[in-house]
Structures are given as structure tokens and as C-alpha cells.
Amino acid sequence: MNWLERLFEAQLTIGSSHILWREIVGNVFGFASAIGGMRRRVWAWPAGIVGNALLFTVFFGVAFANPQHQTLYGQAGRQVFFIITSVYGWWLWQQHRKNRGADAPAITPRWATMRERAGYVGVWVGGVLIGQWIFATIGAEWPAPRWYFWCDAWIFVGSMLATYAMARGWNDFWLMWIAVDLVGVPLLWHSKFYPSAVLYAVYGVLVLYGFTVWLKASREEKDPERQLAEVRS
């Protein structure tokens, strides 16, 4: 098992910074998942799950040693919920594909309804209020200012909602990711998780492009499931 342990603990050294290879590889899988999501391909979900599992071991430093000697509970916890939500999204997109061709995108994007939008905004606000209190109670295993817990809660709740919105095929999920990245990138950089910070900054560019792609598709494509429902009615 020694070679597995060495592989698990392998690091890339750049100057005085030490970066776990599993953080880099986990983010590569995450980036691949984002591209797959933009293209509305089912494989985006399992790719994301692999990345989430690797990144959990990076951020949960209290159990898995990392060079930063820090535990980001919000970042680690959201990887677990990413996996749970991704299983749901994987199943849901596979169900949608039953009425589509093998090479067709899994879903036809749309905007969330006003009721759906009010729901996720309410969950986001309430989740941040509760989340920051829970994270502050648990602590960060290192001296952390209060704003850190608010940021961590914002990222945690927003990421869950964005993943759920992606599963439902809402255009809103791209805008939700922008809101998450505006807080997440500075926090990751401040905490010295440099590969994740850089990749999330790159995500920001991909998110803007992905939003235009989904927006165009929602305007031009017809949803075969809605058409089928209209014919049956």
C-alpha cells in the first residue's frame, strides 16, 4: 500500500508553496464536468463526482493532512452535498434522455419560474444565516475572523443550489455560480488553496460563456417532453 500512500500524498512544489496533486486532479475533473454541463451531457455528473471526492480529502484537513494545515468545513461539506446532488442530476438527466436522440443534449434549458426563484432565494438567505452560525460554532481549527464563516456559508449554500438548478435545467444556475465565485475565489486564495482559486477564476469565464450558450438554447430549442405532453393533452 506504500505506493498508494505516496500517490495520495504527492505534492507539486512551486517556490515555497506545496500543492497536493489530488487538488489539481480533482479540479481538472471539476472543470471537465463544467464543460459537460455546458454541453448538457450526462457524463458531466459522474466526472464531477470523481472531482468532488478528491477535493473533499483536500479541504477536510483535520482528517486528511494538507500543506495548508487548514480545514475549510464549508468547502469540504459542499463536496459531500455535490455528490448527493450530482447523483440526483445524473438520474434526472438520464430520464430526460429517454425522449431524445442518443447524440442530443440531455435537457432543454429554461428560466426558473417566479415561484421557483423565490424558493431558492429564500433557501439561500436562510441557509447562509444558519450555516455561518454552525460553521462558527464548529470553528475552523485555526484563528478565523467572523467574515470567514459568512463567506464559507455563502459558498456552501450557493453551490448546493447552483448544482440543483443545473440538474433542473434552469438558466439561473449560471448566475448563481457567478455569485458563488465572487466570494469563493478570494477566500480560496486567502486560504492558500491556489489551484482551486485559479481554476474557479477560470470557471468564471466559462460560466459567462456557458450562460450565453444555455440562454440561446432556451430561446431556440423546443423541449420534446413539453411537446409530447401537449400532444397527449
Q: What is the mean pLDDT of residues 98-108?
A: 79
What tens digit of pLDDT does each residue of 157-201 get?
A: 998 899 999 999 999 999 999 999 999 889 888 877 777 788 778
Given a cut of 50, is residue 211 above it in pLDDT? yes
Strand pairing class (17-20; 11-14):
antiparallel
Residues contacting 214, CB < 8 A, separation 6+: 38, 109, 171, 174
Q: What is the pLDDT of residue 111?
A: 95
> How many Cβ atoms from other residues are within 10 Å of residue 69's Cβ?
11
Among the ranges 4-18, 183-197, 201-215, which has the highest mean pLDDT value? 201-215
The candidate with the shortest Cα–Cα distance to 165, out of 122, 208, 110, 106, is: 110
Identity of the amino acid at 186: P
Q: What is the pLDDT of residue 232?
A: 46
**Residues pairing with 18 in the sheet:** 13
Q: What is the pLDDT of residue 230?
A: 44
Q: What is the pLDDT of residue 41?
A: 92
Output the DSSP codes for 134-168: HHHHH--SS---HHHHHHHHHHHHHHHHHHHHHHH
**All 3 cell numbers of residue 17?**
508553496
Task: Report whether 188 contacts 197 (CB < 8 A).
Answer: yes
Residue linked to cell 457567478: 178
Query: Can you tell me the distance from the alpha carbon of 196 to that of 37, in angstroms, rounded to the nearest whole number?
Result: 19
Share of the chain above pLDDT 90, in %: 40
Q: What is the pLDDT of residue 216?
A: 94
User: Of residues 232 and 149, which shows the higher confidence score?
Assistant: 149
Q: What is the pLDDT of residue 229?
A: 46
Among the ranges 40-49, 98-107, 151-160, which has the highest mean pLDDT value? 40-49
The candidate with the shortest Cα–Cα distance to 76, out of 155, 178, 158, is: 155
> How many Cβ atoms from other residues are within 10 Å of residue 143's Cβ?
7
